[in-house]
Structure 1
Amino acid sequence: MSDPLRETDENVVPQGIDPLRATIRTRFRRGELARAYDWCLEGLKHYPDNLWLKHRAVLCLTRSGALERAQTAYAEFRLHEAHYDAECRALGARLLKSEALEAPLSDFTIQAVRAAEAYAAIYQETCSYYPAINAASLFVLGGQIERAQPYIQAVLEQSENAEQDDREGAYYLHASRAEAFLLRGDMQRAQASLEAAIALDPDNHAARSITLRQLRLLADHLTLDLTGFQALEPPRPAHFAGHLFAVGDGDNQMTALDEEALRVRVREALKTAGVGSLYGSLAAGADILVAEAAHDLGLPFHAVLPTPSRVFFETSVRPVSSDWSRRYDACLEHAASVQEVTSDRKQVGDLHLNYASRIAMGLARIQAAALCTRPLQILLWDGQDNQADRGTAHDARLWRLSGGEQVHLDVPSRVRYRGAGNEGETADTPHFSQSLRAMLFLDVMGSSSVPDDRVPVFVDAVLGRLARACEQFAPGLVYQDSWGDGLFLAFESVARAAEAAVTLRSEFEAIDFEALDLPASLALRIGGHFGPVHEGRDPIQRRQSLFGSQVVTAARIEPMTLPGSIYVSESFAALLALEAEKAYRCEYVGRLKIDSQKQRQPIYSLRRLRRPETSN
């Protein structure tokens, strides 16, 4: 069956429940949980009572870390009522496990044991190794090692000669043995069991990532060394960048032979590093060469362009040579996805180039986190960090600052093409300038229910409290405005905006509405976005303000947000993964229709990490 899930065909549903389930399984196995979840929801429009689609949708959310949304969906789908279905019961226990892992340290032990007991109850009825291994691990994490021993023994005994009819089942059988051996401290057998599991189902990257994350959590708790397990990680996502160059016989051009030699080196580097997917631009030269090598190896590459593709073509491809023009179109055709991060109709300089490259770097890191592996950056350049504000040197420096690993393939300085990529004007009006801003829109849901006589109290005790909390974010807070029951804030960085969002939510949750005689149903919604905005004088307010489609995007995310949650755009999530991935996590929610004139947009839920994460 052909894959119907390219971005251009996102509304095409495979005919029949079996092809649909096969498509979802394929995405799920690749670790593409976001797309698998989207297709579960799309399928439920056609098969609203299908229990498998409901279960897999919640499982996608759970595995991607979207705990709150998973719990909501579990209740909305009424999966807790499916007592006859062992997988649905196990999913309920899994949600308790996820809740425990997200709990503050002071509550973790109690919640871990609670989840362990839920799994233990399922094991008593089913005698299945799956609830047994989860009960064992959670009892260990909850500090009740003795209670874990019978379940560890049961897993090893039951799995020793057991057989499974399908590859995924065979994988989990051996992966559970690996986990049981690790709980006993037998690292050699644990590694051998995981190797056996992977050999049985080598393309199930989603399952492998979950296993590795679990083993790292246990190893951290038991102070065990997992260095030998790095070779078992799923294929790594990579960001790629490099110099523009022309191919020919001129003094400042790369010869055809040298280009072919570089192509061979790129393919070998991708294979040696274990790269599984790539993210980057498609400028003439290095970018297109890497994209072509990825296609040759059957690796998906995701093009992230600073402007619409034809605009980018006119400044960063066509001027270099007509040959690159043909290859550029072929790369667009072969790309797994093409993201145009702005709607500007001309190249506007360094700001947009940096914006696109930072999003591409962040997307690679988001995918690496989902797969529980280490992201990589592949550079085709001369290695000269000239402190440029854009280009390969800028991308290399930013990636190093984030602690990322790099592979450097040399491209001589003499062949660099220096006449493209920055030919547009920065603005049509001299009184306006462009800058990158992280924006938050906040709205108090239900404020219309506030009685007229309590409006002054609402303004002072609720909006006033939020406004006073904003004062601590100066000087990073560069713009703020209010309207009715809402706030609009803009920051220099996404890390600062994320800190403000979680702080303001905590401030709101601490308000005693009963004591203030205000409706208890009041709830805060926060939407966030990061992008280039136009800064200029507002002719109505007669002061500096922010304008443009990126501001509109930020405003339209907020109404889509679940009350009490913080929803952000993919660009916000990507930049946060690049700047502050140890402090925050953005969990995939789904593709939401925030603008009637545009396609559905990937939206994430922002969370502050409450427990230290194991390293990837």
Structure 2
Amino acid sequence: MAAPKIVLFAGQRANDRDTPGPFPPAIEPAVRIAIRTKLESYGNLIGYASGQAGGDILFGEELLDLGGILHIHIPCERDDFISQYVAPAGQPWVDRFQRLCARAASVNVNCEERLLGDPTLIRFNNQVLQGMARLDAEARGTTAHLLLLWSPSAPAELGSPADFMDHWPEFDRLSIIDLDELSGADDAVPEPYTEAFAELSTSPRAIRAILFADIATYTNFRDDEIPLLFDLLSEAQQQVETLTRPPLLINTWGDAIHAAAETAHDLADYAAALSNAVAAIDPARYGLARSPRFRIALHAGPVFVGMHPMTGRSMIFGHHVNRAARIEPVAVPGEIFASQHFVALLRAEMDERLYEAAMTGVPYSPRYSVEYHGTVELPKQFGREAVYRLIDRHKSASPEELERPSVSEQSVPPSLHAVIRNDVAEIEPLASKVDEFCGMHGISPEVAHAVNLSLEELLTNTIHYGYSDKQEHMIEVGLTLQGSKLLVRISDDGEPYDPRQTPEPDLESDLDERQVGGLGVHLVRQLMDKIDYKRQKGRNQVVLTKSFAA
């Protein structure tokens, strides 16, 4: 079966009631036919769109009628969105919007703030839409296409279809439906940029990438070691300054860091440089027995920009700043975790850089890839968040590896990465992540159950028998989808143990004559297609392979 076509839609909003504009009610049938004609040429469909009255709703209705899957993203809470972008066109559009949401595979709210007439949130919603469509396409080994319902005579407002088109680099994957041509107004002159619109567009909010970090191992340092630790961090900061563009703002208190940048890529560069610089410094040079390990969280969204009344320094504030702060405690020490919003923006920015490089002949390979970590509960009742592990491909790559095709030129397989403690109570939450990952990627519940049973057997064995001390140990678990095979990796620092060497259990003798043990590994052999093992850098590395019907 061919991979589905990922279609991202941006469309002109229907005119408000009894108000002239580029999308009057009379041309709705022609717009519907034009959208359906485009969609029918694509085949198997997955669509991404907002839900404004007009083109968005027509696109969603036609895509679902053709058997497609629809993901809706809106920039604010549903009632606020309806009042500003659906209801002004009339109650029938509100009813259709509600029915569309009920039929959609997902309805995503990208800002839990009021719009306040601010188009900045619309632009951010468009950026997230674009990034999510690209991520979905990448996971399925295909590419995303933009379908635009555009009126050349409409003003190019912030967040408008014209603005969306300006931020879409691949014109070979862009299809346009000319609204003015459908309405017979193809000779219309674009509306001038008015002072009223200029006033509307001067927003106190701006889209920012946001970082929160702290030293997870800070409490392990004695008071007399803190000055030495700060000397080490000063050297790390000097290295960071030579490698990256400085954040727009950076604040610190104690071991905590808060930073913001204009783009996700700039902030990812800063986070990676900080993490790499600290890890590369020998702590013994500063009289320390251990290296600090940062826990770093990245997020993105519209924020309010201003000056702090007490310090006079620049600051950002708002819901997304608070949310970024809540993601940091769930990050794994030594890792960089990122929200879905951040990953979406980063994906779109890397593709834009890739396209510009192709046009100018400048070599470029995207620096970052991501692994889905899971949907986690955030502290302080901030709800749930899909988080990803950010992987710096430059960290340990050889020059030959960096010259390989970029993540946009080859499919990066969907992955799940988790770290658990040597505690059997951690196995059940891990199983939930495995079930969620398999469900997201169309892997049957039977395969997910087989994987979870195998993980339970091997992890329980490691936790009970792999450690001679009573200390806390970390066990890494990873899933990677490669076509019709699922690779399951387990890495632990326990006693050397190759499960392939476990003898087959005696299933023929009487129960009181059988040797104890071996049944768990026997079950894993029955459930999985292959077991591989190696001992590397003091860790057991087990890889299970499970094939399934695609």
Q: Please give the range of the TM-score, normalised by the shorter of the 2 chains.
A: 0.5 to 0.7
Question: In terms of mean alpha carbon deviation, does 471-480 or 279-288 score higher?
Answer: 471-480
State the Cα distance separating 1:484 from its structure 2 match: 0.9
Q: Give distance in 2, aligned partners of 1:388 and 1:255.
A: 19
Q: Give distance in 2, aligned partners of 1:240 and 1:523.
A: 42
Q: Give distance in 1, aligned partners of 2:235 and 2:350.
A: 27
Name the Cα RMSD after superposition. 3.1
Asked if residue 592 in structure 1 is aligned to residue 376 in structure 2, the reply is: yes
Q: Give distance in 2, aligned partners of 1:525 and 1:468.
A: 20
For the residue of structure 2 that corresponds to 1:302, the secondary structure is: strand
For residues 209-228 of structure 1, the aligned pairs below 5 Å read: none
Is the 1:281–1:304 Cα contact (8 Å) retained in structure 2?
A: yes
For residues 241-280 of structure 1, the aligned pairs below 5 Å read: 241-246=10-15, 258-280=27-49
Deviations 1:302-329 (A, max 9, x none): 1111111111111111112222111111
Residue 174 of structure 2 aligns with an amino acid whose one-letter code is Q
Is the 1:243–1:380 Cα contact (8 Å) retained in structure 2?
A: yes
State the Cα distance separating 1:282 from its structure 2 match: 0.7
Q: CA 1:532/1:257 → structure 2, altered by over 3 Å: closer, same or farther?
A: closer
1:487 to 254, 257, 262: 257
Is the 2:22–2:153 Cα contact (8 Å) retained in structure 1?
A: no
Q: Give distance in 2, aligned partners of 1:379 and 1:264.
A: 14
For the residue of structure 1 that corresponds to 2:165, the secondary structure is: helix
**Unaligned ranges ≥5, structure 1:** 1-201, 203-231
Question: In terms of mean alpha carbon deviation, does 533-542 or 585-594 score higher?
Answer: 533-542
State the match for 1:447 in structure 2: 218
Q: CA 1:472/1:515 → structure 2, altered by over 3 Å: closer, same or farther?
A: closer
For residues 70-89 of structure 1, the aligned pairs below 5 Å read: none
State the Cα distance separating 1:363 from its structure 2 match: 0.2
State the Cα distance separating 1:468 from its structure 2 match: 2.6
Deviations 1:253-297 (A, max 9, x none): 767674234323322322312352111211111011001112212
State the match for 1:547 in structure 2: 317
State the match for 1:613 in structure 2: 405
Asked if residue 368 in structure 1 is aligned to residue 137 in structure 2, the reply is: yes
For residues 17-166 of structure 1, the aligned pairs below 5 Å read: none
Is the 2:378–2:385 Cα contact (8 Å) retained in structure 1?
A: yes
State the match for 2:530 in structure 1: none
For residues 89-488 of structure 1, the aligned pairs below 5 Å read: 202=1, 232=2, 234-246=3-15, 258-383=27-152, 388-399=157-168, 401=169, 405-412=173-180, 433-462=204-233, 464-472=234-242, 477-488=247-258
Q: Give distance in 2, aligned partners of 1:450 and 1:329.
A: 55
State the match for 2:500 in structure 1: none
Q: CA 1:448/1:410 → structure 2, altered by over 3 Å: closer, same or farther?
A: same
Q: CA 1:426/1:563 → structure 2, altered by over 3 Å: closer, same or farther?
A: farther
Residue 341 of structure 2 aligns with an amino acid whose one-letter code is S
State the match for 1:504 in structure 2: 274
State the Cα distance separating 1:383 from its structure 2 match: 4.9
Q: CA 1:487/1:251 → structure 2, altered by over 3 Å: closer, same or farther?
A: closer
Asked if residue 575 in structure 1 is aligned to residue 359 in structure 2, the reply is: no
For the residue of structure 2 that corresponds to 1:298, the secondary structure is: coil
Q: CA 1:475/1:565 → structure 2, altered by over 3 Å: closer, same or farther?
A: closer
State the Cα distance separating 1:436 from its structure 2 match: 1.1
Q: Give distance in 1, aligned partners of 2:131 and 2:160.
A: 16
State the match for 1:54 in structure 2: none
Is the 1:450–1:519 Cα contact (8 Å) retained in structure 2?
A: no
More strand by share: 2
Is the 2:244–2:273 Cα contact (8 Å) retained in structure 1?
A: no
Is the 1:426–1:434 Cα contact (8 Å) retained in structure 2?
A: no
State the Cα distance separating 1:497 from its structure 2 match: 0.8
More helix by share: 1
Residue 324 of structure 2 aligns with an amino acid whose one-letter code is A
Q: Give distance in 2, aligned partners of 1:334 and 1:389.
A: 29
For the residue of structure 1 that corresponds to 2:304, the secondary structure is: strand
2:283 to 490, 513, 517: 513
Residue 349 of structure 1 aligns with an amino acid whose one-letter code is D
State the Cα distance separating 1:425 from its structure 2 match: 9.4
Question: In terms of mean alpha carbon deviation, does 496-505 or 542-551 score higher?
Answer: 542-551
Residue 265 of structure 2 aligns with an amino acid whose one-letter code is A
Q: CA 1:545/1:560 → structure 2, altered by over 3 Å: closer, same or farther?
A: same
Deviations 1:196-249 (A, max 9, x none): xxxxxx3xxxxxxxxxxxxxxxxxxxxxxxxxxxxx4x0122210011124999
Is the 1:311–1:347 Cα contact (8 Å) retained in structure 2?
A: no
State the Cα distance separating 1:489 from its structure 2 match: 1.2
Q: CA 1:268/1:312 → structure 2, altered by over 3 Å: closer, same or farther?
A: same
For the residue of structure 1 that corresponds to 2:316, the secondary structure is: strand
TM-score w.r.t. the length of structure 1 is 0.56
Is the 1:476–1:492 Cα contact (8 Å) retained in structure 2?
A: no
Q: Give distance in 2, aligned partners of 1:536 and 1:525.
A: 27
Is the 1:441–1:488 Cα contact (8 Å) retained in structure 2?
A: yes
Is the 1:307–1:345 Cα contact (8 Å) retained in structure 2?
A: yes
State the Cα distance separating 1:477 from its structure 2 match: 1.6
Q: Give distance in 2, aligned partners of 1:294 and 1:347.
A: 31
Q: CA 1:255/1:244 → structure 2, altered by over 3 Å: closer, same or farther?
A: closer
State the Cα distance separating 1:590 from its structure 2 match: 0.7
State the Cα distance separating 1:437 from its structure 2 match: 0.9
Q: CA 1:461/1:371 → structure 2, altered by over 3 Å: closer, same or farther?
A: same
1:522 to 285, 292, 297: 292
Q: CA 1:522/1:275 → structure 2, altered by over 3 Å: closer, same or farther?
A: same
Residue 566 of structure 1 aligns with an amino acid whose one-letter code is I
Is the 1:248–1:254 Cα contact (8 Å) retained in structure 2?
A: no
Deviations 1:493-512 (A, max 9, x none): 11111111111111011011
State the Cα distance separating 1:576 from its structure 2 match: 0.7
State the match for 2:498 in structure 1: none
Q: CA 1:322/1:454 → structure 2, altered by over 3 Å: closer, same or farther?
A: same
Is the 2:22–2:179 Cα contact (8 Å) retained in structure 1?
A: no
Is the 1:439–1:489 Cα contact (8 Å) retained in structure 2?
A: yes
Matched positions, count: 377
Deviations 1:348-369 (A, max 9, x none): 3221110000100100000000
State the Cα distance separating 1:566 from its structure 2 match: 0.7
Is the 1:538–1:544 Cα contact (8 Å) retained in structure 2?
A: yes
Identity %: 28
Q: Give distance in 1, aligned partners of 2:282 and 2:85.
A: 56
Q: Give distance in 2, aligned partners of 1:604 and 1:341.
A: 17
TM-score w.r.t. the length of structure 2 is 0.63
Q: Give distance in 1, aligned partners of 2:16 and 2:259.
A: 48
State the match for 1:26 in structure 2: none
**Unaligned ranges ≥5, structure 2:** 352-365, 411-550
Q: Give distance in 2, aligned partners of 1:385 and 1:248.
A: 17
Is the 1:533–1:548 Cα contact (8 Å) retained in structure 2?
A: yes
Q: CA 1:435/1:320 → structure 2, altered by over 3 Å: closer, same or farther?
A: same
Q: Give distance in 2, aligned partners of 1:558 and 1:473.
A: 24
